[in-house]
A and B are shown apart, each in its own frame.
Chain A
Amino acid sequence: KQEVTQIPAALSVPEGENLVLNCSFTDSAIYNLQWFRQDPGKGLTSLLLIQSSQREQTSGRLNASLDKSSGRSTLYIAASQPGDSATYLCAVRNDYKLSFGAGTTVTVRA
């Protein structure tokens, strides 16, 4: 059974600092890995999807890397802003199913 771990569970940084969020998974036979953002009491918004054949994916200030063989992904957010405060979840896909980590809650202090 796929297990996904996100460390740390919470992170607080001053505005302007770069964020580094980590995700690890136990079964490397994945189709893809997805990073989501969730605001309090809301649903999930997809940020980036990395296919298993890719090493990284970028969108604006966000960059996600994938090392499938070691079962790790990292989400980098450059020059953080208060609006980046949210919970970030990673999820890996095997077959139809996504397996989620518990998330990292980020607070960016103005």
Chain B
Amino acid sequence: DVKVTQSSRYLVKRTGEKVFLECVQDMDHENMFWYRQDPGLGLRLIYFSYDVKMKEKGDIPEGYSVSREKKERFSLILESASTNQTSMYLCASSSWASGNIQYFGAGTRLSVL
């Protein structure tokens, strides 16, 4: 089974802190994604990566950056956390070879106070 692991289930941070959210997948997938999920808005794509060191902006990249130094790991960075970044963050991975079905991690619920 594909496993996508997010390092934390819950995080509480203060405004202005630098925050790292980590995601690791174990299926050698080339594509990885970061979404945020807010009530009534569904999932919105922040950034995605289709290869090591490659990244593309999604629909809402402002206030975020990403890093993909190794194929299995995709990090989301909040350079200076703000209260409007309080949300559920979901990581996913997929592979062209397996029909591009996206497999999701359990999510990280981030609260910025």
Query: Chain A 70-110, CB within 8 Å of chain B: the 1/0 string?
Result: 00000000000000000001010100111011110000000
| Max count, chain A CB within 10 A of own CB: residue among B42, B50, B58, B102 | B42
> Is the pair B104, A98 in contact by a Cβ cutoff of 8 Å?
no
Tell me the nearest residue of chain B to A49, going by C-beta. B101
Footprint of B on A, CB under 8 Å? 1, 4, 31-32, 34, 36, 41-46, 49, 51, 89, 91, 93, 96-98, 100-103
> Is the pair A34, B48 in contact by a Cβ cutoff of 8 Å?
no
User: In the complex, how many residues of chain B place their beta carbon closer than 8 angstroms to a beta carbon of chain A?
Assistant: 27
- Does B100 count as interface, using CB distance less than 8 angstroms? yes
- Grouping DSSP codes into helix (H, G, I), strand (E, B) and loop, the A interface class, with mixed when no group exceeds half, is strand
Partner of A98, one of B4, B41, B45, B50: B45
Enumerate chain B residues within 8 angstroms of A93, measured Cβ to Cβ.
100
Task: Say how far B48's CB is from chain A's closest CB, in angstroms.
Answer: 6
Task: Say how far A10's CB is from chain B's closest CB, in angstroms.
Answer: 11
> Is the pair B90, A41 in contact by a Cβ cutoff of 8 Å?
no
A36 to B58, CA, bound (A): 20
| Max count, chain B CB within 10 A of own CB: residue among A45, A96, A101 | A96
Stretch of B14-22, B61-69, B73-81, B105-113 lying at the A interface: B105-113
A89 to B4, CA, bound (A): 19
Task: Say how far B51's CB is from chain A's closest CB, in angstroms.
Answer: 11
Enumerate chain B residues within 8 angstroms of A44, measured Cβ to Cβ.
43, 90, 92, 102, 104
> Is the pair A102, B41 in contact by a Cβ cutoff of 8 Å?
yes
Enumerate chain A residues within 8 angstroms of B90, measured Cβ to Cβ.
43-44
> Is the pair A103, B48 in contact by a Cβ cutoff of 8 Å?
no
Enumerate chain A residues within 8 angstroms of B4, measured Cβ to Cβ.
43
- Does B25 count as interface, using CB distance less than 8 angstroms? no
A91 to B45, CA, bound (A): 12
